[in-house]
């Protein structure tokens, strides 16, 4: 079973997701320049929304290179020496093949995405085998380089400890990890395929970049001096975006080890975060916190269909109709056209639009839930009926 979300969201002047040059990200679509917010950017915002609002806090994950610090914290809380504990953890992680940074031995070579419960279980294995791991922890000051020490650790960890560590590296029941997946290059069998997909958000219309020239004045500058003490420019744009995401319900449940209650909670949290989460880029400068103007949730037995092509030809605003209304209208017309050709085998459809958007929803008009809560409740009933 597949859950799909389609959203139309209009942002005032902003720079929510910028490139390496500081410019708002963009792309070419349908032959025209469009504003773009990357899927990574929105997924980060959604994960942060999870952290703040998800009821089952133990069923979340941490994405970090500072795994040694996180695990050794559990050991220190159990009375172990800080320096020894970090050495034990480094030995244990190297023993299962996870590479440590060549610049900082207390950090992993790349970002790891591990469940909070998973981190705790790794710490428990280290605690249970603390003396054995401490005994084989190399001392780099005895003439070994850090690289040689890590290599020695990998070969010296007893097979039963290495096996125990690998057994607990199973992703746990971390909801955000189950949704967005992870890749462990050093332990490919511990990779978890994502159960969700999130598209790059693109503007429904063509855009141009604008510049804000700003100045800053020194508050303590003598009155007889004039002029600014800092000058600069910030690039921004204003755009109405089409957003698309989906969740494979069976894959999510499988990633959560068959826990149906947690699957329910995760899906509801995913829908809420997709609707409510907003990227944080340049928010102190622009404070752009606009909610979606239109959301459609579709539940089907199979198949996925982004409707980005509704905007292959850019929409235009007029005195009578703005970008939001035109975008919703184009979306509804494209939905109807696609359903006519390929069929509409959706088990359930629920949408809502802001009341100021006076548009004809065409074949979707009988699916207007009216508000967020009704849309979520109806969608959850359709999935778990």
Give the pLDDT of residue 41. Answer: 97
| pLDDT for residue 369 | 93
- pLDDT value for 139: 64
Domain match, 355 and 318 both: yes
Predicted pLDDT of residue 144:
55
| Pair (36, 98) in one structural domain | no
Specify the pTM.
Answer: 0.90
Are the C-beta atoms of 66 and 93 separated by less than 8 Å?
no
Residue 165 included in any domain: yes
Residue 340 lies in a domain: yes
Domain-located, residue 216: no
- Asked if 328 and 267 sit in the same domain, the reply is yes
- Distance, in Å, from the CA atom of 242 to the CA atom of 199, rounded to the nearest integer, reads 9
Range of the domain at 10: 2-56+193-205+237-384
- Does 241 share its domain with 362? yes
Q: Which two tokens stand for residue 129?
A: 């085998």
224 within a domain of the structure (yes/no): no
Q: Which of 237, 228, 264, 236 is nearest to 249 (CA)?
A: 264
Count up the domains in the chain and report the number: 2
Same-domain status, 99 and 29: no
180 in a structural domain: no
Tokens 């419960």: give the residue: 117
Give a yes or no: residue 186 inside a domain: no
pLDDT over 70 percentage in the chain: 96
Residue 232 belongs to some domain of the structure: no
Residues 49, 198 within the same domain: yes
* 255 and 365 belong to one structural domain: yes
Angstrom CA distances, 131 to 80, 98, 128, stand at: 11, 21, 8
Three-state DSSP at 285 gives: helix
Within the chain, which residues score under 70 in pLDDT? Answer: 139-155
Specify whether 321 is located in the same domain as 292: yes
CA angle at residue 173 from 74 to 94, to 5 degrees? 50
Please indicate, yes or no, whether residues 165 and 46 belong to a single structural domain of this protein. no
What pLDDT sits at residue 149? Answer: 56
- Buried b / exposed e over 99-135, threshold 16 CB at 10 Å, is ebeeeebbbbeeebbbbbbbbbbbbbbbbebbeebbe
- Would you say 109 and 101 are in contact if contact means Cβ atoms under 8 Å apart? yes
Same domain for 115 and 146, yes or no, is yes
- Kindly give the residue spans of alpha helices, DSSP state H, lying in the chain: 39-53, 67-77, 82-95, 116-128, 130-136, 146-156, 159-168, 175-180, 249-255, 260-276, 283-286, 323-342, 372-384
Tokens of 106: 């207390």
139 three-class SS = coil
Are 155 and 251 in the same domain? no
> Based on the domain organization, do 7 and 120 belong to the same domain?
no
DSSP annotation string for 297-311: EEEESS-----GGGG
């Amino acid at each position: 079973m597949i859950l799909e979300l389609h959203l139309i969201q209009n942002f005032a002047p902003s720079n929510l997701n910028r490139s390496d040059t500081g410019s708002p990200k963009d792309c070419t679509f349908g032959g025209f320049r469009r504003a773009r917010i990357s899927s990574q950017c929105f997924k980060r915002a959604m994960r942060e929304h999870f952290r703040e609002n998800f009821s089952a806090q133990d069923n979340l994950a941490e994405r970090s290179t500072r795994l040694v610090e996180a695990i050794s914290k559990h050991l220190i809380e159990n009375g172990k020496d800080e320096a020894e504990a970090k050495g034990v953890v480094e030995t244990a992680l190297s023993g299962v093949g996870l590479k440590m940074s060549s610049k900082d031995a207390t950090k992993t070579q790349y970002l790891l995405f591990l469940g909070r419960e998973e981190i705790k279980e790794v710490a428990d294995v280290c605690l249970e085998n603390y003396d054995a791991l401490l005994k084989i922890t190399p001392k780099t000051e005895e003439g070994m380089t850090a690289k040689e020490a890590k290599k020695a650790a990998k070969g010296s960890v007893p097979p039963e400890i290495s096996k125990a560590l690998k057994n607990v590296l199973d992703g746990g029941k971390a909801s955000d990890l189950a949704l967005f997946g992870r890749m462990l290059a050093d332990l490919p069998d511990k990779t978890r395929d994502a159960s969700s997909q999130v598209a790059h958000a693109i503007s429904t219309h063509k855009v141009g970049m604008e510049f804000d020239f700003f100045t800053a004045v020194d508050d303590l500058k003598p009155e007889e001096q004039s002029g600014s003490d800092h000058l600069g420019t910030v690039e921004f744009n204003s755009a109405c975006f089409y957003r698309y995401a989906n969740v494979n319900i069976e894959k999510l449940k499988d990633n959560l080890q068959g826990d149906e209650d947690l699957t329910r909670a995760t899906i509801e949290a995913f829908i809420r975060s997709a609707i409510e989460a907003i990227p944080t880029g340049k928010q102190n400068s622009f404070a752009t916190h606009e909610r979606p103007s239109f959301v459609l949730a579709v539940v089907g037995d199979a198949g996925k269909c982004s409707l980005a092509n509704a905007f292959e030809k850019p929409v235009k605003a007029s005195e009578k109709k703005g970008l939001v209304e035109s975008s919703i209208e184009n979306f509804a017309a494209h939905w109807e056209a696609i359903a006519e050709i390929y069929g509409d085998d959706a088990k359930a459809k629920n949408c809502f639009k802001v009341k100021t958007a006076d548009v004809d929803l065409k074949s979707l008009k009988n699916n207007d839930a009216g508000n967020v809560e009704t849309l979520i409740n109806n969608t959850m009933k359709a999935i778990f009926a």
